[in-house]
Amino acid sequence: MPRSDETKRETQSESHPLSTLFEPRSIALVGASEKSVWSHFILRNYADFGYTGKVFAVNRNGAAVYGIAGFTNCRSIGESVDVAFIFVPQSAVIEALEDAAAAGIRHAVILSSGYSETGPAGAAAQQELLASAAKLGVRVWGPNSLGFNNLSARAPVSAIPAVLPILPPSIAIVSQSGATAAELYEFAHSQNIGTSFVAATGNEGDVTLSDVLDYLVDHAATKAIAIFAESIRDPEAFAAAAERARAKTKPIVILKIGRSALASAVAKAHTGSLVGDDRVFSAICERLGIIRVHSTEDLINVAGLLASTGPLRHPGFCFMSISGGACTLVADGAEGNGVELPPFDETTQRALAEVLPDFGSKLNPLDVTGAAIRDPSLFERILPIVAAAPGIGLVAVSMTIPTTPGQGLPAALEAIGRALQIIDAPVVMAQTCVKALNDVSRQAIEAHRLPFVITGIDPMLRAVGKASWWSKRLGRPAKPLLLGQPPIAPRPLSTERAVLDYLAQSGVAVIPGKVVRSRKEAAEFANSLHESLVLKISSPDIAHKTEVGGVRLNVARAEVPDVYDSIMTQVAHARPDAAIDGVIISPMRSGGGVELLVGVTNDATWGPTIGIGFGGVMVEVLADVSIAPLPVDREEVIEMLLRLRGAKLLQGFRGAAAANLAAVADSIVNIGNAAIKLGPSVASLEVNPLLVRGDRVEALDGLVIWNENERTHV
């Protein structure tokens, strides 16, 4: 039945510019043939998903394919078509695109491969393809993509096979890899997690995963979004969509691969070891409220859990089981996964004691022992008590879900199902080991009105920890990332003292000091100070001052003139070529305190990023660094400091005064802001050390390196 574009548009979602692509009413399958494996997979989907739109087969002979009417080209279809799904050989793709455009088709999904994934020649072919598409006014999904299945609209444009039965929609799966999209979708199904949308974005020549993400934020059937990605091509769009998702309390979970490759691409800047690696992406996720995971199973489990529970109102988790072993496994694994198991308050314990008089302890995790097998009504009486306990945001109750007929204890499942009818708080079911839930399981779940089931103690704890983190993070809008900022002219921060003076102007407490240029000036300035002193050569040309005899520590006031002369002589001897600015005189800081290292670098993708670590062994041997995108605020910096493995050092280690965390944080916030003001042409700004002694926070040395490798001071 031909429809006019107008009628069609009225009934489609108008909310998204790509809704015609994502919710197609009619699809031309360009390259369809009964001889092709791809055609087989693609066409079977229309029956399996129950697509209600129109499908046309396009091939050289205009032959019908598996009963679908055939046409020699798109123009001859004679009806409005929303999407051309192109899987002809590479050599015929542009011709197919031109035909589609001529037929008025504005969207193409291109499965054909041989493009940027194969190397430079392929990349050139992709450029040519995209240029053609742009000229023709056709948006392109792919190439080298298995397409997408919009399951909630029952609209497949994809070679990802349907997994049957189709479950009620819950999570969306977006993957750059097609094989992985199919595998994630299948794994979700095995966990009884319904998929609302599954997409393989392939080479992302035009439409990217950020576009899909943006669409899914408003996709009603999608309760959570799971992303499998190797690279984020458009960080601004990605960040914007993520922030919209946060505001709508729709969780995003991401498995970003290529960690190891990224880690080996060592950044060139001095402070590269601090931030020039994959940890920047983790910091971005932290900022954007995106849950980062590292396994395919976690990706699906976390999305599935949060799709089922929504944000958790309290961080506390309660686990109950008839198996003491399972309870101990949960107790063992909780802390490492960030799962809080709050002990029950007295009211809860009293209420439990009435139901379970013979129990010695009313601990969380709660071992209800075999008593609950003999008397399943215990579940009905216990669940409401623990679900109402203060601080508990999620309860998991462990009881076998059958996978073969006759397995498990139906009376216990029935009791759990009944209990859930009167409970408000989220309850899920747990299984000790990972298992695949099948039709038998689904029958039991439906019969007993059971909630979401998460299988495996370890996967459960990881998912609960992530869900809890996300729920806490949710209320905090993400500060916008500083992407695409205009360049600012470099300031001449050519010496240590110039950098420190610049930081001082930005509100950072810095060590006093002065560059002196004569023996006399040195003596005069030294006499104005009341401590023992440090003298250092000041030269834009000298990177390693100690090696040329340019540093003297612990100098008494009276010795200053001689030491001044000695430094000037030694440096002139060692580096006759260097331009000498003078000698910096500062007070000597000794006698304790904690040294921090604060470094800002500009990440090529994500913009300016700040790294904080403890000086010395902690950062150099252990790479113990907290990272965040700039700007940062006091609260965030305190969190970053406390996340360091050496955080104890700030809390009054070995009788030292505890650091004033707010003062330290304010200093670091100001360093970050000073770096931002230098603009994107600063490669790095580093303060090393930032000395902390109780309430006193003081930058002792500063260094700025510009992108042009203009080394302005060491």
List residues near a copy of itself by CB under 8 A: 37, 113, 117, 119, 161, 175-177, 179-180, 183-184, 186-187, 190, 228, 230, 257-261, 294-297, 300, 322-326, 328-329, 331-335, 360, 370, 373, 400, 403, 407, 431-436, 456-458, 617-618, 620-622, 645-646, 648-649, 653-654
**Residue type at 366 in one-letter notation:** L
State the nearest-atom distance from the C-beta of 182 to a copy of itself, in Å: 9
530 φ, ψ to 5°?
-120, 25
Q: Is 104 exposed, middle or buried (0-12, 13-18, 19+ CB in 10 A)?
A: middle
Helices 346-355 and 377-387, packing angle to 10 deg: 170
The alpha carbon of residue 343 and the mean position of all alpha carbons in its chain are separated, in whole angstroms, by: 31
Task: Give, for 431, the enclosing helix (H) or strand (E).
Answer: strand 427-431
Closest approach, Cβ 229 to a copy of itself, in A, equals: 10
Task: Output the smallest distance, CB 560 to a copy of itself, in A.
Answer: 25
Rank residues 19 and 431 by Cβ distance to a copy of itself and give the closer one: 431
DSSP per-residue codes, 600-644: EEEETTTEEEEEEEETTHHHHTT--EEEEESP--HHHHHHHHHHS
Contact indicator for 292, 156 with CB cutoff of 8 Å: no
CB of 191 to a copy of itself, least distance (A): 9
Smallest gap from residue 500 Cβ to a copy of itself (A): 24
**Shortest Cβ 369–a copy of itself spacing (Å):** 8
Give the SS3 label for residue 175. Answer: strand
**Between 179 and 488, CB nearer to a copy of itself:** 179
Between residues 217 and 399, which has the closer beta carbon with respect to a copy of itself? 399
Q: Choose between 436 and 642: whose C-beta lies nearer to a copy of itself.
A: 436
- Bridge partners (DSSP) of residue 108 are 84, 140
What are the tokens at 502?
């610049």
DSSP 408: S
Residue 400 or residue 660: which is nearer to a copy of itself going by CB? 400
Q: Which of 204, 75, 27 is nearest to 130 (CA)?
A: 204
Least distance in angstroms from the C-beta of 71 to a copy of itself? 27
CB-nearer residue toward a copy of itself: 101 or 200: 200
Choice between 436 and 488, CB closer to a copy of itself = 436
**Across-strand partners of 704?**
685
Are 168 and 304 a contacting pair, CB within 8 Å?
A: no
Q: How far is the CB of 331 from a copy of itself (least distance, A)?
A: 5
The token duo for 513 is 């000091």
Nearer to a copy of itself, 17 or 324 (CB): 324
DSSP string, 311-357: S-SSSEEEEEES-HHHHHHHHHHHGGGT-B-PPP-HHHHHHHHHH-T
Minimum distance from CB of 483 to a copy of itself (Å)? 25
Specify the DSSP element, H or E, that contains 374: helix 371-374
Nearer to a copy of itself, 260 or 421 (CB): 260
The nearest distance, CB 305 to a copy of itself, in angstroms, is: 16
The residues with which 597 forms a beta bridge, in sequence order, are 613
Report the DSSP pairing between strands 551-555 and 594-603.
Answer: unpaired
CB nearer to a copy of itself: pick between 358 and 708: 358
